[in-house]
Structure 1
Amino acid sequence: MLKPAYAAPHPLAGGKVQLTVSARAAIDTYVPIVLAYPAPAPSNQALKEGLLRAIAPYPHLLGRFALDGHGRRVLHLNNEGVLVIEADVPADMADVLAAGGMATDVAGFYPTVPEESVGPALLQVKLSRYRCGGLLLGVICHPHIADGHAASTFYGAWATAVREGKGFTVPSPFIDRAATAVPGSTPKPVFDHRSIEFKGGEGSATSQPHAVLPMDKIRNVKVHFPAEFIAELRSRVGARCSTFQCLLAHVWKKVTAARGLSPEEFTQVRVAVNCRGRANPPVPMDFFGNMVLWAFPRLQVRDVLGLSYGGVVGAIRDAAARVDEEYIQSYVDFGGVADANGEELAATSTFGTMLCPDIEVDSWLGFRFHQLDFGTGPPSAFLPPGLPVEGLMVFVPSRTVKGSVDLFMALAEDHVAAFKKICYSLD
């Protein structure tokens, strides 16, 4: 177990803090990433020393989940440290990557995901050193501690600490969690968050109850979207839009068609929204924690398929725009009422399910892989783990051609052939 030796106790040392109210809506499992670094890769010692320097201002990553007197999960800032596993592999990394494990069989490249979240290290690292000198860096981190924005900021700080050496001082992030969620003097939730972000409400944020699909019936699909294809998509939207928006509109159309859904059926997308700049007052962008809520663009199948690209992008934008300061404050007030009642909230986000007719999207498009240069160059590949939810997809900037995007998506095996046949069609 790796942990920094503080010259003086961290101001938050030993305390127990509540999870951010946003974190309670996140899925309760560790999120893995795997990055490939060809030889000459940074040494394990350099990576560990840099990790110690980088993590010192991040006491939450060094703590452990615990339970309070009401049985609710809290974070104990006990400086128990980060788990680092080192492995020597008697093979060449290029041969391992070429063997076909890029999208579905990378579980051995990162630490085993704990079955229980209370107790284990919240950040765990596996350094797999290959005979050729290459390195596979596998990391798992719990989203109740950090959303994608916060996690990527920390990984970038780690890379800089290794690259710059012992003289580099890692900037301290904003970690005042109390400032991110201040209920009103009389908390008054305006929206039905119990039905949207959590289980147990009379309504539902989903088009229909989600079925369970055996894991052996889920197939992971990879699609490469060249920069030229993305440019053509943008031109068809007919208005300024992001790469994420136009690609999401396109994939939503094609997945809906491949599933053969009834025209009258409703389908929706669960889209993560970074609420730092949307809250009132705004939360600093360097806030380390989970500050994500969800938007749910929802249309009938006939509209997803029949509307122009601009129309579908508009539906996505409108849904995201509804996650505004009023909605965020309503959500904070809802959390305040739940706390006052000693209530444990169960998120609607689960895995091992079939989202059809819906989809859920995560995006790494805002992340720049050059930020993960530990001193010998950025990673040569991003290896996503097998996605355990049918309908879950991830957009990743391509490492092969600038401006291109790779889509990793889990689909029911019965829909894969149809999706692959039409995924590049713009009709």
Structure 2
Amino acid sequence: MGAKEEVKVLESCLVMPGEETPTHGLWLSPLDLVLAGRGHTPAVYFYRFVSGSTGDFFDVAKLKAAMAKALVAFYPLAGRLRVDDSGRTEIDCAGQGVLFVVAHSDFAADDFNDCQPSPELRKLFVPHIDGSSGIVFGVQVTFLKCGGVALGTALHHVAADGVSAFHFFQTWSAFSRNNGENVTTTLDLPCHDRTLLRARCPPVVHPDSLDVFYPFKINPCEPLGPIINKIFAISDDQVDALKRACGGVSTFCAVTTHVWRCLCAARQLPSDTTTRLTFTANVRGRMRPPLPAHYFGNAIIWLTSAGKVHDVASPSKEMMASVASRIRGTIRRMDEEVVHSAIDYLEQQETGNKPAPPSGNSLSKTELRVVSWLGMPVYDADFGWGKPLMMLRAVVPRAGVVFLMDGGRGDGSVHILICMETAILTDFQRLLYAPV
């Protein structure tokens, strides 16, 4: 891949909601504010040209019209980030618009058959958003030499988690696919009441909850050498073998256990060292009553499990099953009290008013952080010309961070997107694909 000059910007504009929308400052919950310093999540969808759609394929006017319709319900995405009079971050909802960029590239879709996330991929296909602009969301439609399209998106994490983001992409693409017809129903409409995740008064953090909930902390350090982003494909047969070896746990628990043990072994951590796993958990169904099905915002907390390297990295199936059971037990312990304690803890820390974390690009070598997109409608973004050939996060910036995604074929396979030190890539790959 070349430099940014390989993509020529043809148009840059703002798309506003197609109808009048509420005008107000949207209060953000502690689960939103903890992500205020994270910036925009970069993702790229690749689409192969559909024969017979000349002149219509990814018609820009059609995409803009569909987005304008979708933004009526998802109006916070057209707002701007600002700080209120008390110093708390909020979204100013006044229909200011979504950044919409149209570009052209001499690359072809086939150039990305074995595409890997990288800073270059982000520079090429994800719209650049100046942090001082307050823009919440931007897209870039890049027409490729072969006729295909790269659709890059940049959504500020303070506005939405993965569940909410994919809900919007489903709605936007459905409007486009159905030529602007009303495709939403009452159940599909997003809920923007973030006070549902307000801290208690007074805040109370239950001591036992800190054994399950992990305060969102990034203490980045410099990696031991260059880092690389890599996607590993795990077949459905290998997933099944991992689940059996781990005692019949879920795909998430089995794959996470295996990645954790492989990373510890590849990094050659001392056997008596404590290693920590942190991972995201959706709280929507753990509240009483549960949050609305389409709550729009951030409804995730970080859970944690720790152990000695000699246990986590053990090759025995018995120990694999024990580690997987420990992860499963952590998930099961996430009840309403743990969620409330997490919210109260974050509110007390006033996370939304703290400066962004330091800029090192590696977690501690003893830490693994896993974000699960398993089961999410990642490949449902069909704008009327077929589902994407590939979808991926454009770049993972820190070593020790992993994203899990469905393989895209509906067969139970999994894609593991990991950022790691280049020096351990060969050993990690050998361990990952070794029989269990």
Q: TM-score scaled to structure 2, two decimals?
A: 0.86
The answer for the alignment partner of 2:72 in structure 1 is: 56
SS at match of 1:383: strand
Pair 113,320 (structure 1): closer, same or farther in 2 beyond 3 Å: farther
The answer for the alignment partner of 1:68 in structure 2 is: 84
Query: Which of 349, 365, 375 is equivalent to 1:366?
Result: 375
Query: Which of 180, 183, 205 is equivalent to 2:200?
Result: 183
* C-alpha distance after superposition, 1:363-384 (max 9, x if no partner): 2221234521112211011233
Shift of 1:337: 4.7
Q: Distance in 2 between matches of 1:90 and 1:343?
A: 42
Report whether the alignment pairs 1:28 with 2:38: yes
Identity of aligned residues (%): 23
Whether the aligned pair in 2 keeps the contact of 1:190 and 1:330 (CA below 8 Å) is yes
The answer for the alignment partner of 1:292 in structure 2 is: 300
Pair 424,103 (structure 1): closer, same or farther in 2 beyond 3 Å: same
Whether the aligned pair in 2 keeps the contact of 1:278 and 1:324 (CA below 8 Å) is yes
* Map 1:241-260 → 2, pairs under 5 A: 241-260=249-268
* Residue type at the aligned position of 2:398: V
* C-alpha distance after superposition, 1:152-179 (max 9, x if no partner): 1111111111111222243421111112
Pair 291,349 (structure 1): closer, same or farther in 2 beyond 3 Å: farther
Pair 333,219 (structure 1): closer, same or farther in 2 beyond 3 Å: closer
Whether the aligned pair in 1 keeps the contact of 2:381 and 2:388 (CA below 8 Å) is yes
Pair 97,336 (structure 1): closer, same or farther in 2 beyond 3 Å: closer
- Range with greater deviation from structure 2 (283-292 or 365-374): 365-374
Query: Which of 168, 177, 197 is equivalent to 2:215?
Result: 197
* Residue type at the aligned position of 2:274: F
The answer for the alignment partner of 1:3 in structure 2 is: 16
* Map 1:253-268 → 2, pairs under 5 A: 253-268=261-276
Whether the aligned pair in 1 keeps the contact of 2:89 and 2:352 (CA below 8 Å) is no
Shift of 1:313: 1.1
* Map 1:29-178 → 2, pairs under 5 A: 29-40=39-50, 41-94=57-110, 96-97=111-112, 101-104=115-118, 105-114=120-129, 116=131, 118-170=132-184, 171-178=188-195
* C-alpha distance after superposition, 1:284-329 (max 9, x if no partner): 1200001110001111111102352221111111222333211111
The answer for the alignment partner of 1:316 in structure 2 is: 327
Shift of 1:406: 1.5
Pair 258,198 (structure 1): closer, same or farther in 2 beyond 3 Å: closer
* C-alpha distance after superposition, 1:32-70 (max 9, x if no partner): 110111112432222221111112111211111111224
Pair 347,88 (structure 1): closer, same or farther in 2 beyond 3 Å: closer
* Residue type at the aligned position of 1:228: D
**Which stretches of structure 1, 4 residues or more, deviate above 4 A after TM superposition?**
335-339, 345-351
The answer for the alignment partner of 1:327 in structure 2 is: 338
Whether the aligned pair in 2 keeps the contact of 1:296 and 1:319 (CA below 8 Å) is yes
SS at match of 2:73: coil
Pair 76,68 (structure 1): closer, same or farther in 2 beyond 3 Å: same
Where do 5+ consecutive residues of structure 1 fail to align? 200-205
Q: Distance in 2 between matches of 1:310 and 1:281?
A: 33
SS at match of 1:22: helix
* C-alpha distance after superposition, 1:70-121 (max 9, x if no partner): 4332211121110000012244332x325x64332311343344452x5332
Pair 349,423 (structure 1): closer, same or farther in 2 beyond 3 Å: farther
Pair 57,401 (structure 1): closer, same or farther in 2 beyond 3 Å: closer
Q: Distance in 1 between matches of 2:25 and 2:230?
A: 42
* Residue type at the aligned position of 1:353: S
* Map 1:269-418 → 2, pairs under 5 A: 269-306=277-314, 308-335=319-346, 337=348, 344-345=353-354, 352-399=361-408, 402-418=411-427
Superposed CA RMSD in Å reads 2.6
Q: Distance in 1 between matches of 2:386 and 2:379?
A: 8
Shift of 1:426: 3.6
SS at match of 1:31: strand
Shift of 1:343: 7.9
Q: TM-score scaled to structure 1, two decimals?
A: 0.87
Whether the aligned pair in 1 keeps the contact of 2:368 and 2:400 (CA below 8 Å) is yes
Where do 5+ consecutive residues of structure 2 fail to align? 1-13, 51-56
* Residue type at the aligned position of 2:402: M
SS at match of 2:133: coil
Q: Distance in 2 between matches of 1:347 and 1:128?
A: 31
* Residue type at the aligned position of 1:37: Y
* C-alpha distance after superposition, 1:228-265 (max 9, x if no partner): 111111111223x2211111111111111101001111
Q: Distance in 1 between matches of 2:75 and 2:375?
A: 25
Whether the aligned pair in 1 keeps the contact of 2:271 and 2:309 (CA below 8 Å) is yes
Q: Distance in 1 between matches of 2:107 and 2:422?
A: 32
- Range with greater deviation from structure 2 (362-371 or 244-253): 362-371
The answer for the alignment partner of 2:3 in structure 1 is: none
Q: Distance in 1 between matches of 2:191 and 2:396?
A: 31
Q: Distance in 2 between matches of 1:91 and 1:388?
A: 24
* C-alpha distance after superposition, 1:173-215 (max 9, x if no partner): 111111232524x33222487x94256xxxxxx9xx652238x
- Range with greater deviation from structure 2 (161-170 or 385-394): 161-170
Q: Distance in 1 between matches of 2:214 and 2:169?
A: 31
SS at match of 1:56: helix
Q: Distance in 1 between matches of 2:411 and 2:96?
A: 40
